[in-house]
């Protein structure tokens, strides 16, 4: 596994993640309904395809996520 030390949320960080399935979205990859794969799977597949083409949607950040971003440097030091 390759790791990179890039600040979260930067253009470089987005570039490294572009078009790749991330752990927080695995549920969307495997989501199914009684009749087949769910809409969230298709939507995520579309999102990944757009990212590979260099088109990114605006990132949603709530207060808990913002707190995590702010605390990440301290967590890394620990």
Residue 64's pLDDT is 95
From first to last of its 78 residues, the chain has per-residue pLDDT tens of 777 788 877 888 888 889 999 998 999 999 988 888 899 999 999 999 999 998 888 878 899 999 998 998 899 899
- Domain edges within the chain: 11-77
Q: What is the pTM of this model?
A: 0.67
Separation between Cα atoms, residue 71 and residue 51, nearest integer Å: 27
């Amino acid at each position: 596994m390759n790791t990179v030390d890039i600040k979260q949320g930067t253009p470089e960080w987005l570039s490294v993640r572009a078009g790749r399935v991330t752990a927080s979205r695995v549920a969307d990859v495997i989501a199914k309904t009684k009749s087949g794969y769910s809409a969230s799977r298709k939507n995520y597949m579309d999102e990944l395809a757009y990212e590979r083409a260099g088109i990114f949607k605006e990132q949603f950040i709530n207060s808990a996520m913002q707190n995590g971003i702010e605390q990440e440097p301290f967590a890394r030091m620990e």
